[in-house]
Copies of this chain bind each other. A is one copy, B any other.
């Protein structure tokens, strides 16, 4: 359970920061899909540390290898095993972590839960775990695009107090990738970059909001009760490292309206139904209604800051710690491909579920 996500298109990730590597097994992928490493690597490059001056400088090529599940460039319908070797392991940078718990990290809670922890690089708490998600998500995105015409995008909407102006219904991928911060509003992107660079120089960090959108989702995906599409998206996003909140459509802001103001009127045109506003965020009663699905994810400022902080050690004595690992001043640019991947994994799973229960024989 813990390390598996999805029901019909199902992924299981494994690996620690400084072990042999990290990987993922994808089970339930439809057969006969054209698939090679070239479909996976671009998204991993977007997730990779060291890709720009505003993200973690850890040196990893993150070159993916497909070990099973394909034959002559096509999927077999059997499990697709993929992995990436760990290259830039520097345990010496983490020796202090061997005995002390970093504040607002998972060092203490892993220790409390398991009674043991792999301290080098944070072990499994490292964001390297998301490599498997992004690799699997690249497959999910390809299926959604090819078989259903669904396009998934995410971008940085806000860094601390700097808010971008973006229309989720029209934003394009190249606009997002035009800046290293992955904000498609270019003047705002520049301000964001400046703030993040300042954080890097001062050894501090900032958080913000990533917005995700799925366009072209047909009506009928999602389940009525527990596995509502927004519930599964929410779980997916809240399972990402450093995420602290999720809302969809009008979200937290929608509570300021009354019901009359908030409702989305239906309108029909040429036998197609749509809504003339989209405060529902493309989902009603847990099921997609054909409008764009869009949502926001709040990411806290990265916990690793280059300053001495109060903490305790494994013997539960008070002490201080000053991290010496790589400093990632802002997780947002690298969170963008993670949000896209998790969105795709949720959607492809519901696409298969819809086909199973409600599709034609």
User: In the complex, are the beta carbons of A300 and B234 less than 8 A apart?
Assistant: no
Chain A contributes a number of interface residues (CB within 8 A of B) equal to 159
Known: A2-B223, A280-B104. A263 touches B305 (CB 8 A): yes
What 9 pairs across the A-B complex have the smallest Cβ distances?
Answer: A106-B285, A245-B247, A205-B259, A112-B219, A109-B287, A2-B223, A235-B235, A356-B356, A259-B301
Stretch in A43-51, A168-176, A250-258 with 4+ CB within 8 Å of B: A250-258
A32 at the B interface (CB under 8 A): yes
Main secondary structure of the interface of A (DSSP, over half): mixed
User: In the complex, are the beta carbons of B113 and A219 less than 8 A apart?
Assistant: yes
For A256, the chain B residues whose CB sits under 8 A away are: 160-161
Known: A298-B254, A312-B266. A25 touches B12 (CB 8 A): yes
User: In the complex, are the beta carbons of A78 and B250 less than 8 A apart?
Assistant: no
For A2, the chain B residues whose CB sits under 8 A away are: 27-28, 223-227, 353
Copies of this chain in its oligomeric complex: 4
Q: Chain B: which residue is nearest A19 at the CB level?
A: B68
The distance in angstroms between the C-alpha atoms of A226 and B307, with both chains bound, is: 30
A326 at the B interface (CB under 8 A): no
User: In the complex, are the beta carbons of A254 and B265 less than 8 A apart?
Assistant: no
User: In the complex, are the beta carbons of B147 and A287 less than 8 A apart?
Assistant: no
**Smallest CB–CB gap between A292 and chain B, Å?**
15
> Which residues of chain A from 70 to 125 have any CB-CB distance to chain B below 8 Å in the complex?
71, 74-81, 83, 101, 103-106, 108-110, 112-118, 123-125
Could you pull out 25 A-B pairs where Cβ atoms are within 8 angstroms?
A1-B27, A2-B353, A3-B78, A3-B224, A4-B10, A12-B27, A14-B78, A20-B68, A76-B123, A77-B357, A104-B280, A109-B222, A148-B361, A209-B252, A231-B234, A234-B238, A238-B246, A244-B247, A244-B250, A244-B281, A254-B301, A259-B302, A259-B305, A268-B316, A353-B356
